[in-house]
Amino acid sequence: MTEGTWLRFYDNLPYFLEALATGAVMTVTVTFGALVVSLLIGFLLACLKTTGSRVISVIIYVYVEIFRAVPVLTQLFIIYFGLASIGIRFDPIPAAIIGFGLNGGAYLTEVFRAGIQGVDRGQTEAAQAIGMRRVMILTSIVMPQAIRLILPSLANFSIGLLKETSLASAVAAPELSFQGHMLIDRTFLSTQIYCLVALVYLALSLPLSYLSRVLERRFGRGVHTR
């Protein structure tokens, strides 16, 4: 790389940082939205799987196996391009949130299930013996203890989700990787731009990594999701 290339990079650095900051905001938006969807799906299906009928358990099992077996990029293509062919259209950001949320929900279903089943069953039986309802047992006795087992895995899952959102650029979601690709197409400064993108991902991931280590030390390793 010539000296002129680096000078051009430094001259345009404020513009690059502004564009990547916009992409970083979209990355955080997709990550947070998909995490909320994943948590809701995972918690609901885990509760249904542990307390519901056999038919419900089979349906949930099929969902979990399909979404864990099919690559998330393929799922994004189906939601964004495939559904559009039958008249169901999503903008890139909602499509990414739905895609990552459905995929993450399959993983978190098993995480929540393992956490719930990790609580001593004798406590549930004792609560039933004194007449407590299932919902009260779950919310007052089981989940407060299960969360201690689940939290480290949720932190690790969040880190993985943040990095996976780079795949959303394939459906034109204007997140961090997409903005990086656009800058490279305009400037051909691939090495410099990719390094900047990596630094931004690092800045976003480090707080989550620190939180994950704190939770692992505090609560133990929990259940691995991937």
Domain parsing of the chain, residue ranges: 30-172+208-219
The average pLDDT across 211-222 equals 69
The average pLDDT across 59-68 equals 94
Indicate if the pLDDT at residue 172 is higher than 70: yes
Q: Picking from 62-76, 92-106, 197-211, which range would have the lowest pLDDT averaged per residue?
A: 197-211
The structure's pTM equals 0.87
CATH 3.40.630.10 fits domain 30-172+208-219 = no
- The one-letter code for the residue type at 131 is G
Indicate if the pLDDT at residue 195 is higher than 90: yes
User: How far is the CA of 47 from the CAs of 60, 92, 151, 154, in angstroms?
Assistant: 11, 31, 17, 17
| Residue found under tokens 């995929």 | 103
pLDDT band, very low/low/confident/very high, at 137 (cuts 50, 70, 90):
confident
The average pLDDT across 74-84 equals 95
Q: Picking from 151-160, 203-212, 215-224, which range would have the lowest pLDDT averaged per residue?
A: 215-224
pLDDT at 1: 53
Q: Is 48 exposed, middle or buried (0-12, 13-18, 19+ CB in 10 A)?
A: middle
Torsion of CA 122, 128, 134, 140, to 10 degrees: -60
